[in-house]
A and B are shown apart, each in its own frame.
Chain A
């Protein structure tokens, strides 16, 4: 099974500043047939289901603000919020969809400093 590990568990960032969340997989999630990484990022606000932000490690889902970006390849990935807004307070999860079980990271709580 692929284990997903996020860091940090929580972070507090000032409004307008950059927030960075890291995710590491225990083995590569690069799908060689299309050279894409099977890695997604989700945002979960309190009392709501998760919302897909990023897929293929770096492609934004339709309607997601461009302050959200994803990067990385192989086993190391990053979600960056370039200018934190109040509405971005949430828990963020990475997930690999390379193989079953479709494991999630433990989550990173992003708050306003």
Chain B
């Protein structure tokens, strides 16, 4: 079964750090661009970051640039998000998503994980 499973969420104080992980199974992670998307409580979807297959292209939302770092380990079929200097407004469910591989400038997100909850509060 094709699946993404996130882990690493939790409660952290403002200014703190967390590392989120996303484990892929049922497919070869190395051939897909991957993304992180978050959803604050009761709010809509917000794209956070993307990383290309070989990590040669990385992009971040302005809201997390300079604080978050995305990485991947294709040998371990895993994706990561290192979050530093966390703020209350970073409180959300963080999901990893697979970008499809159809040819073109980009593709839709065809596989999503269930997400891991991050709460930033003192």
What residues of chain A have their CB less than 8 Å away from a CB belonging to chain B?
31, 33-34, 36, 38, 40, 42, 44, 48-52, 55, 61, 91, 93, 95, 97-107
B106→A104 contact, CB < 8 A:
no
Q: Known contacts A50-B45, A107-B45; decide if A102 and B106 are in contact (CB<8 Å).
A: yes
Chain A: minimal CB distance from B34 (Å):
12
Stretch from B15-23, B69-77, B111-119 contacting the other chain: B111-119
Contact among B46, B59, B100, B102 with A104 in the assembled complex (CB-CB below 8 Å): B46
- Residues in A with CB closer than 8 Å to B44 are 91, 93, 104-107
Interface residue SS majority, chain B: loop
A55 with B107: CB separation less than 8 A: yes
Which residue of chain A lies nearest to B110 when distances are taken between CB atoms in the complex? A52
Pairs A–B under 8 Å by Cβ, sample size 6: A38-B106, A40-B108, A61-B110, A98-B106, A99-B106, A101-B61
Q: Is the CB of B47 within 8 A of A102?
A: yes
Count class of interface residues, chain B: 20 to 34
Tell me the nearest residue of chain B to A53, going by C-beta: B108
Q: Are A101 and B100 in contact (CB under 8 A)?
A: no
Q: Is the CB of B35 within 8 A of A102?
A: yes
Q: A97-B105, A104-B44 are in contact. List 13 more A-B contacts (CB 8 A).
A: A34-B104, A40-B109, A49-B115, A51-B112, A55-B110, A93-B45, A95-B47, A101-B59, A101-B61, A101-B62, A102-B35, A106-B44, A107-B45
| B112–A49 touching, CB < 8 Å | yes
C-alpha spacing A48/B112, complex, angstroms = 10
A47 to chain B, nearest CB (A): 9
Q: Which residues of A contact B41 (CB under 8 A)?
A: none
Among the listed B50, B103, B114, which residue makes an inter-chain contact with A102, where contact means beta carbons less than 8 Å apart?
B50
On chain B, the residues within 8 Å of A105 by CB distance are 44
Which residues of B have CB within 8 Å of A42? Answer: 45, 109
